[in-house]
Amino acid sequence: MMSLMGEHPQNVDCGVSAIYNTKPAPLNEPLLPFEHQVGGHSALSHAAGRVWKPMIKKEVTFYQRIWAEESSPECLWIRDWTPRYYGLFEREELAEDRVTPQTSSGPLGGRVTEKPGQREGSRGSEVQKKSSPWGKKLSEIRKRQKPMRLYVCLEDLTAKFYRPCILDVKLGVRTYDDDASPEKKLRHQEKVRNTTSGKYGVRLSGMQVYMRREGDYLFRDKYHGRTLKREGLVTSFRDFFDNGDGLRRDVVSRCKSKLECLKSYVDAQRLFYFYSSSLLIVYEGDEEVTKPSVDVRMIDFAHTQPSFDRSDPGCSLGVSTLVKILDEILEEG
């Protein structure tokens, strides 16, 4: 496994030959749209119980370093806070690589099975999501996304949930890496300056919440997130933890504890700048499920680069803001 330390990020070879010392495994599974995607730039796919993401060289470099058998002890903490990485896969026939449209019914596209005796009333959520600006954008991305040969295979963080409530939050005050063009840097700097990212290091990228009474999902996208000030951000987070019957204080408390733990690692680490990474919070929306789970993970590492023994203050600020907001929500009741 290559080491990223000691080299300027623009000089690091992120090509497949540098990050993968064996031939990528063949990808033979038919790909379906990942219906629980609430944010991001590229369309994710789902197959064999896992998530498939078009390969981005720097992101593969990051995952390979973290999940390598000989990974340094300083990297091991990150494994607990990222999706499990299953490797790089190659599609032999590009003509067959287009994602197959999801046609079965069910919540947001149909992977979740209804409980016996329950009426399936979730098609409205599919329409609601498709008619939102983000839903339309995602549909456009899928249509124009070119057939890909290489995919990263990752753990499906929603798989263990019956009614997954998902919050995608952009972390940090910088959303581009050193390789970005001057035009892209200016564009991203303006976006950060005009949103909650600039002052608070956090921005809503998307969310879905299962509303128990309606048997449906409430959905908000990244375009909504860009319009928010801090007060609106707090309101959106409060809505995320409310299934229509009241605030899920147990979930908020568990998320806050996990974020405090993550903050201790992010503050102490001196390996990476997590530029444009996101935090994914997932909890079980069905209160009837025994021992409902809560999960907090970092995702999206396409712009992560080595920090050369420096901390990442932007990422730390974002996690700190989230802890403070959850504190406020708990105090309000």
249 with 316, same domain? yes
200 with 305, same domain? yes
State the burial class of residue 187 (Cβ atoms within 10 Å of its Cβ: 0-12, 13-18, 19+): middle
221 with 78, same domain? no
26 with 164, same domain? no
164 with 308, same domain? yes
Residue 153 belongs to a domain:
yes
Encode pLDDT of 111-145 as tens digits.
Answer: 333 332 232 333 233 435 555 666 777 778 788 87
Quick one: pLDDT at residue 140? 82
218 with 312, same domain? yes
Final residue before a domain boundary, out of 114, 132, 157: 157
With contact defined as beta carbons under 8 Å apart, do 282 and 276 qualify? no
Encode pLDDT of 208-252 as tens digits.
Answer: 999 988 888 889 999 999 999 999 999 999 999 998 889 999 999
| Residue 286: CB atoms within 10 Å | 16
Question: The domain that contains 280 carries what CATH number?
Answer: 3.30.470.160
Residue 118 belongs to a domain:
no
* Number of domains making up the chain: 2
What CA–CA distance (Å, rounded) separates 197 from 94? 38
181 with 251, same domain? yes
182 with 245, same domain? yes
Q: What is the pLDDT along the chain (333 residues), one digit of tens a residue?
A: 333 333 333 333 333 334 444 578 988 888 898 989 999 888 899 999 999 999 999 999 999 999 998 888 999 999 999 999 999 999 876 554 455 554 333 333 323 333 322 323 332 334 355 556 667 777 787 888 777 889 999 999 999 999 999 999 999 999 999 999 999 999 999 999 999 999 999 999 999 999 988 888 889 999 999 999 999 999 999 999 998 889 999 999 999 999 999 999 999 999 999 999 999 999 999 988 877 789 999 999 999 999 999 999 999 999 999 999 999 999 986
How is 178-239 classified by DSSP, letter by letter?
Answer: TT--HHHHHHHHHHHHTSHHHHHSEEEEEEEEEETTTTEEEEEEHHHHTT--HHHHHHHHHH
Quick one: pLDDT at residue 291? 77
What CA–CA distance (Å, rounded) separates 207 from 153? 23
Residue 138 belongs to a domain:
no
**pTM of the shown model:** 0.83
251 with 327, same domain? yes
Quick one: pLDDT at residue 212? 87
Range of the domain at 74: 14-94+145-157
Residue 127 belongs to a domain:
no
Residue 108 belongs to a domain:
no
Final residue before a domain boundary, out of 105, 134, 157: 157
Quick one: pLDDT at residue 40? 84
222 with 85, same domain? no
Residue 1 belongs to a domain:
no
Best CA proximity match to 80, nearest among 312, 250, 268, 298 = 298
Residue 212 belongs to a domain:
yes
Quick one: pLDDT at residue 146? 76
276 with 149, same domain? no
Final residue before a domain boundary, out of 157, 186, 208: 157
What CA–CA distance (Å, rounded) separates 68 from 143? 35
Q: Alpha helices, DSSP H only, in 32-164?
A: 57-67, 76-79, 123-131, 133-144
303 with 245, same domain? yes
Query: What residues does 279 pair with on adjacent strands?
Result: 169, 298
Quick one: pLDDT at residue 231? 97
The angle at the Cα of 87, spanning 81 to 90, to the nearest 5 degrees, equals 140
Residue 104 belongs to a domain:
no
What CA–CA distance (Å, rounded) separates 99 from 261? 38
